[in-house]
């Protein structure tokens, strides 16, 4: 594996000539509905860097949306995948069992923060894990409906798209949606949906939970509440601890399954193996995907055994679910993360990111809010700090100007006015600071 240094842009503009030709071919052959942030093509990766086909080296503050927590082409994961590929690729676990599936399930059951006996089911994508979590919750509770939040992202399949909040681009023209989905406002303190002020509100949002059952949904119909411990696509928003405690109380009172969608937050991203490790209460089911396979598709639902055992045999699963190569990669990822203390790596990255963002917030009035936990940080851009009018155009320009200088950074938020930071956790301090130097200079250019 080639060691990369950078970021450095060696072509007169991005995309360079090879990437430009490939991009034209790509656009001709693939649907417009697939968004493309960076119009270049990766040739190889190394840690937090990747080189494109023209020899430009980019610093990656996106990590495939928190998939590459152990970095691009982590050599130990590469070896685990090669070793497994030498033995066998596939059996379909329903036809012939293999140890890797069982071992990975047992490892997750040991570490997912749910009390008591647990079981794990493997799937392929985040959306598929969420779909299955709903099937399991419905079967167990013998109820049908689901409560989700404004700003939520749970996937793009019909059922998970119905759970997802943002209309454009995720839902426009794709309806009708799955029935029985109820949406409640998310406790978004910077823009409190109830017009409250964090300092004086006494967690007013928590009182809305019981109220919701009066006006919008009967708890006798509700099988599950789905919550992201940190809203990802929604703009990296953390619910207050008091809210989570009340949510747990309400779920217990009405026999509702509390599902934590940890697809973006798990695998040490927030400074703990799971974001729920920070919670004062615990969920009943957790869905996991993205970084667990370090780029090999695999997802999971882990939950209390009595809930997980509710579906009839044959009712859950799938051809590729828990594929042996993906399971071998995931076992190696867990081993590396525990051995090398990735939780503290994430906290260290987060401290540097928070310090740099706070300094930028002092310098640039367009940065209205800086927030996050561990290495899941964001800055929300506004046209005016008093009106908080979202500044999506500024964020779009920053994103574009960053990649022209070799830094990949992504936007987020229902209004597209949030810059989110999800760098690989193996990033070095020098790389981090170099990335923020680029970002700082770009914000100065865009805002002056």
Binding site for ligand PLP (CB under 6 A): 65, 125-127, 130, 153-155, 228, 232, 261, 263-264, 289
Q: Which is nearer to ligand PLP, 154 or 272 (CB)?
A: 154
Minimum distance, C-beta of residue 408 to ligand PLP, in the bound complex (Å): 16
- Determine contact, residues 224/256, Cβ cutoff 8 Å: yes
Minimum distance, C-beta of residue 24 to ligand PLP, in the bound complex (Å): 27
Minimum distance, C-beta of residue 66 to ligand PLP, in the bound complex (Å): 8
- φ/ψ of 62, rounded to 5, equals -120, -35
Q: Which is nearer to ligand PLP, 62 or 217 (CB)?
A: 62
Q: Which residues of 346-370 are buried (b: 16+ CB within 10 A; e: fewer)?
A: bbbbbebbbebbeebbeebebbbbb
Count how many Cα atoms sit within 13 Å of the Cα of residue 198 in the half-sphere of its side chain.
9
Q: Which is nearer to ligand PLP, 258 or 446 (CB)?
A: 258
What letter does residue 271 receive in the DSSP assignment?
S
d(CA 402, CA 62): 12
Minimum distance, C-beta of residue 70 to ligand PLP, in the bound complex (Å): 17
Nearest Cα to Cα of residue 39 among 20, 64, 65: 20
Q: What is the dihedral of CA 36, 416, 435, 447, to 10 degrees?
A: 120
Minimum distance, C-beta of residue 362 to ligand PLP, in the bound complex (Å): 30
Minimum distance, C-beta of residue 67 to ligand PLP, in the bound complex (Å): 9
Distance of CA 180 to the CA centre of its chain: 25
Q: Is the peptide bond before 169 cis (omega within 30 degrees of 0)?
A: yes
Q: Which is nearer to ligand PLP, 141 or 231 (CB)?
A: 231
Residue with structure tokens 């310090």? 355
Minimum distance, C-beta of residue 240 to ligand PLP, in the bound complex (Å): 19
Minimum distance, C-beta of residue 136 to ligand PLP, in the bound complex (Å): 16
Minimum distance, C-beta of residue 124 to ligand PLP, in the bound complex (Å): 8
Q: Which is nearer to ligand PLP, 7 or 187 (CB)?
A: 187
Q: Which is nearer to ligand PLP, 112 or 391 (CB)?
A: 112
Give Rg (Cα) of the chain: 22
Count how many Cα atoms sit within 13 Å of the Cα of residue 104 in the half-sphere of its side chain.
29
Q: What SS3 class is residue 272?
A: coil
Residue nearest ligand PLP (C-beta atom): 126
- Determine contact, residues 432/353, Cβ cutoff 8 Å: yes
d(CA 260, CA 37): 28
Count how many Cα atoms sit within 13 Å of the Cα of residue 207 in the half-sphere of its side chain.
6
The residues facing 72 across adjacent strands are: 47
Q: Which is nearer to ligand PLP, 65 or 158 (CB)?
A: 65
Q: Which is nearer to ligand PLP, 15 or 372 (CB)?
A: 372
Residues whose CB falls within 8 Å of the CB of residue 351, separated by 6 or more in sequence, listed in order: none
Minimum distance, C-beta of residue 289 to ligand PLP, in the bound complex (Å): 5
Give me the helix-helix angle, 324-339 and 342-363, nearest 10°. 80
Q: Which is nearer to ligand PLP, 206 or 237 (CB)?
A: 237
Q: Which is nearer to ligand PLP, 222 or 259 (CB)?
A: 259
């Amino acid at each position: 594996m080639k060691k990369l240094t950078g970021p450095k842009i060696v072509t007169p503009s991005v995309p360079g000539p090879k990437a430009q030709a490939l991009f034209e071919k790509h656009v001709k052959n693939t649907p417009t509905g697939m968004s493309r942030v960076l119009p270049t093509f990766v040739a190889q990766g190394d840690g937090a860097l990747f080189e494109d086909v023209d020899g430009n080296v980019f610093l990656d503050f996106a990590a495939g949306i928190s998939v590459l927590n152990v970095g691009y082409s982590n050599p130990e994961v590469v070896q685990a995948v090669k070793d497994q590929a030498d033995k066998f690729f596939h059996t379909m676990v329903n036809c012939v069992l293999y140890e890797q599936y069982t071992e990975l399930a047992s490892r997750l059951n040991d570490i997912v923060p749910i009390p008591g006996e647990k079981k794990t089911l493997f799937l392929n994508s985040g959306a598929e894990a969420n779909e299955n979590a709903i099937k399991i919750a419905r079967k167990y509770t013998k109820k049908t409906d689901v409560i989700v939040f404004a700003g939520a992202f749970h996937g793009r399949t019909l059922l998970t798209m119905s759970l997802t909040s943002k209309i454009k681009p995720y839902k426009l023209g794709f309806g009708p949606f799955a029935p029985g989905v109820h949406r409640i406002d998310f406790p978004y303190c910077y823009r409190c949906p109830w017009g409250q002020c964090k300092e004086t509100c006494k967690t007013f949002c928590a009182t809305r939970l019981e109220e919701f059952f009066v006006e919008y949904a009967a708890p006798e119909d509700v099988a599950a509440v789905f919550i992201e411990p940190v809203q990802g696509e929604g703009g990296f928003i953390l619910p207050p601890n008091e809210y989570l405690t009340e949510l747990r109380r309400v779920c217990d009172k009405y026999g509702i399954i509390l599902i934590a969608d940890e697809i973006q937050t798990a695998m040490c991203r927030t400074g703990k193996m799971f974001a729920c490790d920070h919670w004062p209460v615990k969920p009943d089911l957790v869905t996991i995907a993205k970084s667990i396979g370090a780029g090999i598709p695999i997802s999971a639902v882990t939950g209390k055994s009595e809930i997980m055992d509710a579906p009839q045999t044959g009712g859950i699963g799938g051809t590729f679910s828990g594929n042996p190569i993906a399971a071998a990669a995931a076992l190696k990822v867990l081993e590396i993360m525990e051995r090398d203390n990735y939780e503290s790596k994430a906290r260290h990255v987060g401290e540097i990111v928070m310090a740099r963002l706070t300094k930028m917030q002092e310098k640039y009035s367009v940065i209205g809010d800086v927030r996050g936990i561990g290495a899941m940080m964001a800055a929300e851009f506004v046209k005016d700090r008093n009106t908080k009018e979202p500044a999506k155009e500024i964020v779009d320009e920053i994103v574009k100007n960053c990649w022209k200088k070799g830094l990949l950074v992504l936007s987020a938020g229902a209004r597209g006015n949030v810059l989110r930071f999800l760098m690989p956790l193996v990033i070095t301090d020098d790389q981090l600071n170099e990335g923020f130097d680029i970002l700082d200079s770009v914000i100065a250019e865009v805002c002056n």
